[in-house]
Structure 1
Amino acid sequence: MLVLIAACCQPLRGADAPPAAEDKPAETSAAERPAGDLADSQRQIAEKYERLEQILLRMSELTAGADPRRAALLKKAVAESKQRMIGVQLKSLVDLLAKDQLSPAIEGQESVDADLHELLELLLTENRSKRIESEKARIRQYLKQLNEIINRQKDLQARTSGGAGQDRSLSQEQGELGGRTGGLAEKIRRNEEAEAEPGGEDDEPPKTEPDNTDGEQPEGLPQDAAPGAAQPGDGTGEKSPSQGGSAKTPAESPPRQPGDGPAQPPSTPSSQPRGNSGQQPGDPPQPGNGHPARQRLEDARRRMEEAGKRLEQAEREGAAGEQEEAIRQLQQAKAELEDILRQLREEEIEQMLVALEARLVQMLHLQREVHEGTQRLDKASSGGLSHEQEIEAGRLSSREAEIVAEADKTLLLLREDATAVAFPEALAQARDDMRQVAGRLAAAKTDPITLSLEEEIIAALEDMVDAVRKAIEDAEQRRSESASGGGGAAQPPPLVDLLSELQMIRALQMRVNARTDRYAGMITGSQAESAELLEALRKLADRQERIYQVTRDLETGRNR
């Protein structure tokens, strides 16, 4: 799939590229080809691209059940292609070249080449999603080990300040903890900074080593060298998860898929050891020196080493000061890792929101088509449905069943996240109404009850699309504030904020109220007697109970 897009891009890029010196004769002869030959080549590219769109649609259908995220991404790519009119542009280039209009043809080629690269970046975000999951798992493991180190260091500092224990024993414990800290710093360097080195495999995340809980030095380090200490000649790549986790801006309608830009080239390795680059322990990490958390850990290790030496000399007061500074550096390293985890979460949210919006917009479009068809049948069936109209109602029922299947797949995306409670409930209730509509249409019931259900489904989908688009704007704003140095929330953000959840609950309650009033108007007498109406009231009571449960979960923070 990606190869096909690259194949479409390459001829366009080469069309106006300056020829290399050694290939000048061959390039010149190619440039002097008749316009008809160029038009034929351009026509082949247009035909390849037309087949590519068909392949993307087919792949989205085949992967919808097993991998709804990938299916949504492929559908989004096709929608983006249609919006940019890439196929139309390619065909117009054929006409321009056939008429020997080379100057506008070159301008058109540059435009479609840029569009193709945007589409390629969109499809590449699938790999980025998998890398985000891997990065998050690694960061969580680093934080788990770091929290254990912080707790042990605080215990050592308390015993040192309180006069408990023997100096030699405390020094030995401090040395072991320093080795463990250096081991964690080395693990971060290998896993995170190695990705920025030339020849690294970006698509395959580094393997994670087991914890060095016994304080032993990592394999491969000299026995007389402190674990994690910088060695002369080590390369220090600039890429960190926080840098690699940047996201592109989503589009307004239809949304753009956030993606990761091309990796930045690694910085030139310094000829001096990393630990002797002029940065003093405790100073903020300097850009270009590697992963910020790793630098903090190495500063903490050096403080631990100094504290161990002072304990050997029975200088407890000086050792306690070094230990306190080590704790400060460890806590700053923890803050760096938590910030990276938050940025990864925000990028993941943005990608999920865009995929969610694409699915909701598609369902809304299909539901409006079904509603329009139902309205036509209702107007034409004043004296009862004909056989042909019953067949058409069956077709509409099948179309509604397709929307139900799409809603089920969308619910999987929401339940994977598990931070939203009102949003999944709103979609689940709309899905239940869709099933009811499909059943009524299958029975050729195009009466006002069916029409009102369809209208409620459309209103619910519109509310959800608006909520998702607002959530995308909020995600963009958070990313902009973070990029401008404004910082971010301490905790990773949920998929949608609390206000949007409350607004969704309000909309759900208003629909229950409206449906209650409608059912009340159908009751003739003191209570309902129709079996169909009684069943509808029972379902409405269940819906009211679910709204209450969602509100309670939101109040207690069960989803956080």
Structure 2
Amino acid sequence: MSRTLVLALLIVGAAIPSRLTAQAPGDARGVEQTVSENGSNKTGRPAVSAEERLAIEQQRIADRYTHLEEVLLRMAELTADTDPRRAEVLRRAVAESKSRMVGVQFEQMVNLLATGRLSRALDNQKDLDRDLAVLLELLLSENRDKQVASEKAKLRDYIKRVGQIIRQQKSIQGRTAGGADPKGLSGEQESLAKKTGDLAKDVKSHEDAARGGASGGEENQGEPGGADKSAEGESLDDSKKDQEVPEAKTGEKDGSSDATPSGDAKPAETPSEGAEGGKPAEGGPSIPGGESQPSPGGDSSPSSPSPPPSQVQKSIEAAEKRMREAREKLEKAQRDGALEDQEEAIRQLEQAKAELEEILRQLREEEIERMLTLLEARFKKMLDLQRAVYKDTKRLDGVPGEQRGHDHEIEASRLSRRQSRIVLEADKALLLLREDGTSVAFPEALSQTRDDMRQVMLRLARAEVGSITQSIEEDIITALEEMLAALEKALEDQEARRGRPTQSQGASGDPALVDMLSELRMIRALQMRVNQRTARYSKLIDGEQAEQPDLVEALRRLAKYQSRIHEITRDLESGKNQ
């Protein structure tokens, strides 16, 4: 979906008539001649002026952009329940378009071209290009999940390599202090300095590539290229396409050169200009590679409270320098001086590692917030659907037995199908929780609730709408309410922590989706549910042992739930989820 929207915006931006750049006011005569030759001489119709032709093409582009805004709003409505983050991005893109009056700018371009004010139109085109670049960046922020995953993998690799270098440097330092042969140690120190330099180069190349990609994308999005051809081709009659090709190529060249100034107009400030009310950036902290990507909300800025992209690189380069100085002193058998340089190299490396871990933690915080928002939307949807099914189940159960016929079974079957859709939503939410892997109680709670949902689905398919089915539905609703409340609390805590300075927790200490207290509360809720269901089933047993098949099966499931509660409590105590 995002690729389609981005492509549409690129086409709209690129389709701003490149001939406008090629045909400056002084070149209008050539356009008029072409139009005249293509118009009155061959078709017999009155010749269309160059200004009118450009205005017509510009109006088509304006109409295309208006349609794009409508599509964005429609897609935001369709994805609001299943993907609130994407819906937010789409809505913010439309809101940003309105605040920048992009549609009005398109209409102004039409009027300027129609009245022949080409110089003014050229100036307005640059402003319009810049605003479209901001909107494009907002839409590209939809890919933030993949970007964060890539950034985290790169950061973990850097942290691992820095840790290895620190261990090796400490080993050399220990042997230096212990009186080992300085000549042999100098060779090891040289090798380690080279390894450290390679890491610094990797960090720098990663940063340069990211910056080059960002600036290149900004420049390229203003170039008409193939997009301009396709956009203009739609507005040309088939009989005129062959005659328009040379002119289009000229426009492409000039449009390409003109796109660079418009793309260079404060590129670092455009994302923040699109933020609503100066809201602080939610998304991506700067990483050593310089991949300062837009946040899902579209309000990130290239700068961030974390260390600037070059800080880690500077620390690693400083460590390399001190290693080489230590090697030189080892060559001269100056142990004390070498030890000082080695100690400083270790300090610089540990500083770089701490900075990397802090950036990784910030990325994880961003990831958690997106995950909690998505889960909250899914749980709200499941809860609303389940309440509706429960209400209709009670209604069907209120029908007297003698009045229950084929229609009653059909309605129960429809309820079963509605319940199956809730099961699908639960499966999606459970997949998200298991992929995250930092929570043990929530996945188990949802798994047990999903099993109950399946039982309700099967019972409704058999038109069993009695007290047992309703009691299971009540348990499902209670469980969903508890999990939703816990997610809302976790999201509030996450938002409260945003921007608050915290100490780095290390690569192995990434923040969990929910804290330990929330996990314990969820385990307590699971146990309470088992206790309540045990008491309920005990009232249905005549004698000391259950004999009804449904009741026996329910007790078996209950025993399974109790066993799983014991397992997740043990896993939580042992830190298996960390």
Confirm or deny a common fold (TM above 0.5): yes
Residues in 1 aligned to 2:92 and 2:214: alpha-carbon distance in whole angstroms: 37
Relative to structure 1, is the Cα distance of residues 369 and 122 closer, same or farther in structure 2, using a 3 angstrom cutoff? farther
For the pair 1:412 / 2:428, whether they are aligned, the reply is no
The verdict on how the C-alpha distance between 1:389 and 1:422 changes in structure 2, with shifts beyond 3 A counting, is same
SS in 2 for 1:304: helix
**Number of equivalent positions:** 452
TM-aligned CA deviation for residue 506 of structure 1 = 0.9
Counterpart selection for 1:349 from 362, 368, 392: 368
Give the helix-richer structure, 1 or 2.
Answer: 2
Amino acid in the other structure paired with 1:559:
N
Go from structure 1 to structure 2 and tell me whether the alpha carbon gap of 1:2 and 1:432 turns closer, same or farther (over 3 Å shift).
Answer: closer
Q: Which of 337, 345, 369 is 1:318 aligned to?
A: 337
| Whole-Å separation in 2 of the counterparts to 1:136 and 1:393 | 48
Is 1:504 aligned with 2:522?
A: yes
Match of 2:191 in 1: 176
Q: Does structure 2 conserve the Cα–Cα contact (< 8 Å) formed by 1:136 and 1:341?
A: yes
Q: Secondary structure at the match of 2:572?
A: helix
Equivalent residue letter for 2:300 = G
| Structure 1 residues 125 and 423: CA distance shift in structure 2, 3 A | farther
Post-superposition Cα deviations, 1:240-292, rounded to whole Å, max 9, x if no partner, equal 359856886xxxxxxxx656635469xxxxxxxxxxxxxxxxxxxx976x522
Residue type at the aligned position of 2:169: Q
State the shift of 1:466 in Å.
1.5
Deviations 1:328-349 (A, max 9, x none): 1111111111112212222222
2:300 to 261, 273, 282: 261
Pick the aligned partner of 2:574 from 532, 541, 556.
Answer: 556
Q: In structure 2, do the counterparts of structure 1 residues 260 and 127 end up closer, same or farther at CA, with 3 Å as the change threshold?
A: farther
Query: Contact (CA 8 Å) 1:242, 1:344: kept in 2 or not?
Result: no
**Residues 1:510 and 1:428: Cα distance change in structure 2 (over 3 Å):** same
Q: 1:464-503 to 2 correspondence within 5 Å?
A: 464-482=483-501, 486-490=502-506, 491-503=509-521
Q: Which amino acid aligns with 1:240?
A: I
1:163 maps to 2:163 = no
| Residue 297 of structure 1, CA deviation | 0.8
Superposed CA deviations along residues 177-196 of structure 1, whole A, max 9, x for unmatched, are 11111111111111134312
Aligned to 2:550: 532
User: Could you tell me which of 119, 130, 140 is aligned with 2:156?
Assistant: 140
Deviation digits for residues 147-186 of structure 1, max 9, x if unmatched?
A: 221111111111111111x222222221121111111111
Q: Does 1:460 pair with 2:479? A: yes
* Cα distance, 1:505–1:513 mapped onto 2, change above 3 Å: same
Q: Given that residues 77 and 122 in structure 1 are in contact (C-alpha distance below 8 angstroms), is that contact kept between their aligned partners in structure 2? A: no
Q: Deviations over 1:518-559 (max 9, x none)?
A: 111111223322122111111111111111111111111111
Q: Structure 1 199/192 Cα, relative in aligned 2: closer, same or farther at 3 Å?
A: closer
Cα pair distance change 1:243/1:470, threshold 3 Å: farther
Task: Give the 3 Å change call, closer, same or farther, for CA 3–185 of structure 1 in structure 2.
Answer: closer
- State the shift of 1:375 in Å: 1.9
- Work out the percentage of aligned pairs sharing the same amino acid: 47
Contact 2:288 2:313 in 1 (8 A): no
List aligned pairs for 1:50-89, cutoff 5 A: 72-73=82-83, 77=86
Listed as ranges, the gaps of 5+ residues in structure 2 are 29-48, 104-131, 219-267, 269-284
2-side partners of 1:128 and 1:415: how far apart?
Answer: 20
2:312 to 264, 288, 293: 293
> Could you tell me whether the CA contact under 8 Å between 1:77 and 1:119 is conserved in 2?
no
2:170 pairs with 1:151: no
Task: Provide the residue aligned with 1:307 in structure 2.
Answer: 326
Deviates more, 1:542-551 or 1:359-368: 359-368
Structure 1 residues 495-517: Cα deviation after superposition (integer angstroms, max 9, x where no partner): 11111111111111111111111
Q: Is 2:451 aligned against 1:432?
A: yes
C-alpha contact 1:378 1:447 (8 A) present in aligned 2: yes
Farther-moved stretch of structure 1 (332-341 vs 2-11): 2-11
Q: Secondary structure at the match of 1:481?
A: coil
Cα shift at 1:121: 7.4
Q: Structure 2: how far apart are the matches of 1:350 and 1:452?
A: 34
What is the SS of the residue equivalent to 2:498? helix
- Conserved 8 A contact 2:12-2:64: no
Checking the alignment, whether the CA contact within 8 Å between 1:307 and 1:320 is kept in structure 2 is: yes
The alignment status of 1:240 with 2:287, answered yes or no, reads yes
Residues 1:449 and 2:444 are matched in the alignment: no
Please give the alpha-carbon distance, in whole angstroms, between the structure 2 residues aligned to 1:533 and 1:157: 70
CA separation of 1:168/1:145 partners in 2, compared to 1, >3 Å: closer, same or farther?
A: same
Contact 1:429 1:543 in 2 (8 A): yes
Question: Hey, what's the Cα distance between the residues in 2 that align with 1:526 and 1:83?
Answer: 63
Q: 1:239 to 1:497 in 2, by over 3 A?
A: closer
Q: Which residue of structure 1 lines up, in the alignment, with residue 407 of structure 2?
A: 388
* Pair 1:260–1:556, CA change in 2 (3 A): farther
Structure-2 change in CA distance of 1:505 and 1:384 (3 Å): farther
Give the letter aligned to residue 291 of structure 1: S
Cα pair distance change 1:120/1:196, threshold 3 Å: closer
Deviation at 1:403, TM superposition (A): 1.1
The amino acid across from 1:370 in the alignment is V
Letter in 2 for 1:503: R
2:210 and 2:289 in contact (8 A); partners too: no
Match of 1:356, as an amino acid? L
Measured in 2, the distance between the counterparts of 1:259 and 1:175 equals: 46
Quote the RMSD (CA, aligned, Å).
Answer: 4.4
Contact 1:57 1:78 in 2 (8 A): yes
Match of 1:208 in 2: none
Q: Is the 2:288–2:356 contact (alpha carbons within 8 Å) kept by the matching residues of 1? A: no
Which residue is 1:130 aligned to? 146
Query: Secondary structure of 1:465's partner?
Result: helix
Deviations 1:407-432 (A, max 9, x none): 11221111111111000000001100
TM-aligned CA distance change 1:533 to 1:202, over 3 Å = farther
Q: Select the structure with the greater relative contact order (CA < 8 A; seq sep ≥ 6).
A: 2
The answer (yes or no) to whether the contact 1:245–1:347 under 8 Å persists in 2 is no
Seen in structure 2, the aligned counterparts of structure 1 residues 334 and 139 have a Cα distance that, compared at 3 Å, is same
The yes-or-no answer on 1:375 pairing with 2:394 is: yes
3-state SS in 2 of match to 1:380: coil
- Check whether the contact 1:192–1:239 (CA below 8 A) recurs between aligned residues: no
Give the counterpart of 1:336 among 343, 347, 355. 355
Aligned partners of 1:368 and 1:458 also within 8 Å? yes
Which residue number corresponds to residue 547 of structure 1? Answer: 565
Letter in 1 for 2:535: D
Query: Whole-Å Cα distance in 2 between the matches of residues 79 and 319 of structure 1?
Result: 56
Whole-Å Cα distance in 2 between the matches of residues 383 and 82 of structure 1? Answer: 53
* Deviation for aligned residue 1:72: 3.9
> Aligned partners of 1:323, 1:4: CA distance in 2, in Å?
54
Q: Counterpart of 1:151 in structure 2: which amino acid?
A: R
Tell me the distance in 1 between the aligned counterparts of 2:215 and 2:453: 49
1:16-57 deviation digits (Å, cap 9, x = unpaired): xxx99979x99x999x99xxxx9x999987766665666678
Separation (CA, whole Å) in 2 of partners of 1:415 and 1:78: 24
